[in-house]
Amino acid sequence: MTDTAPQAAAPESLLRSADFPPQSQITREIQDLHAGFAERVAGREQLPKTIRDFPPYRSSLLRHPTKNPRLVDPETIELYSPAFGQRDVAAIESDLTLQHTGEPQGERMTVTGRLLDSWGRPIRNQLIEIWQANAAGRYIHQRDQHPAPLDPNFTGAGRTITNDDGEYHFTTIKPGPYPWKNHINAWRPAHIHFSVFGSGFTQRIITQMYFPGDPLFALDPIYNSIRDEKDRDRLIAAYDHDLTVPEFSMGYRWDIVVDGPDATWFEPEEGEH
């Protein structure tokens, strides 16, 4: 690899922002922007769901798209290759707690839900991948060097295929919040990254699932770059006591809607987090 070769993006970019402001300034900027958006929407202006040029999200300022995205037809080959057959994904890959010889540290949890289209129809046989920090908020990534422990029994990546009802199911460890260098004392709310494939690479969409009641929601510029509160709320899983397993795990439910007015928010294709 040469110096000019692209590197894998660090989690949420751990590069320190140029001005490195305090949280109070970031929070004020978020509140002012949201108030301005609400005013413009009240004046019947159409605004995008995701504000790509969202200054509180400092590390995106130089890399957010400046042009409207264009829809392009995928090349024919993309519809056939790479092909993910059922055989390629083993059932055990949806259990992130079984990837090493020992038990990972932290709060064991399951997350389940349905992948749906805008008519509420299940989307079957689709590849869903997740990645996440461990219980201490640490990713296995060379750019994540903050002083929280790695867990030798937890890698933090898994995948599964939706069943005939469009359902997916993961067993994992609840991720911890983690610091990033967007501003002074910046912490991301705990989250799990989700990737959903359609029938080709060009149909991949990526988003994040959050946990109910997280005190960091109002402080996080990534979460708040989604303009509408209802859209932000759709990224928060519901705690479901019926999904808990006695003496074993907590349970969360989170449905993913891939299009239409109730669609789950997805990251712009150029997003790197």
The one-letter code for the residue type at 220 is: D
Q: Residue 166 has what DSSP assignment?
A: S
- The CA distance from 111 to 18, in Å, is 37
193 assigned to active site: yes
139 assigned to active site: yes
Of the two residues 11 and 271, which places its CB atom closer to Fe ion in the complex? 11
| Binding residues with Fe ion: total (CB under 5 A) | 1
- The CA distance from 253 to 22, in Å, is 34
175: contact with Fe ion by CB under 5 A:
no
Supply the minimum distance, in Å, between the C-beta of residue 139 and Fe ion: 7
Of the two residues 40 and 143, which places its CB atom closer to Fe ion in the complex? 143
Q: For the purposes of burial, counting CB atoms within 10 Å of the CB of 241, is it exposed (0-12), middle (13-18) or buried (19 or more)?
A: exposed
Supply the minimum distance, in Å, between the C-beta of residue 14 and Fe ion: 10
Sole window of 4-12, 22-30, 96-104, 222-230 interacting with Fe ion (rule: CB under 5 A): 4-12
Of the two residues 26 and 161, which places its CB atom closer to Fe ion in the complex? 26
Q: Which of 245, 224, 244 is nearest to 235 (CA)?
A: 224
Supply the minimum distance, in Å, between the C-beta of residue 116 and Fe ion: 24
Sole window of 8-16, 38-46, 93-101, 115-123 interacting with Fe ion (rule: CB under 5 A): 8-16
Phi then psi for residue 245, to 5 deg, are: -110, 120
- The CA distance from 29 to 214, in Å, is 20
Kindly name the residue from 58, 138, 139, 183 that is annotated as catalytic: 139
191 assigned to active site: yes
Of the chain, the end-to-end C-alpha distance in Å amounts to 22
Q: Residue 252 is inside which H or E element, if any?
A: strand 250-253
Binding-site member from 11, 106, 113, 156 for Fe ion (CB under 5 A): 11
* Cβ pair 172, 211 in contact under 8 A: no
- The CB-nearest residue to Fe ion is 11
Kindly name the residue from 178, 210, 223, 252 that is annotated as catalytic: 178
Supply the minimum distance, in Å, between the C-beta of residue 141 and Fe ion: 10
DSSP characters over 25-59: HHHHHHHHHHHHHHHHHHTT----SB-SS-TTSGG
Sole window of 5-13, 16-24, 47-55, 67-75 interacting with Fe ion (rule: CB under 5 A): 5-13
Query: Any residues with CB less than 8 A from the CB of 28 and at least 6 apart, and which?
Result: none
Sole window of 9-17, 49-57, 70-78, 227-235 interacting with Fe ion (rule: CB under 5 A): 9-17
Supply the minimum distance, in Å, between the C-beta of residue 175 and Fe ion: 8
Q: Tell me which residues are annotated as active site.
A: 139, 178, 188, 191, 193
Interface with Fe ion (CB under 5 A):
11
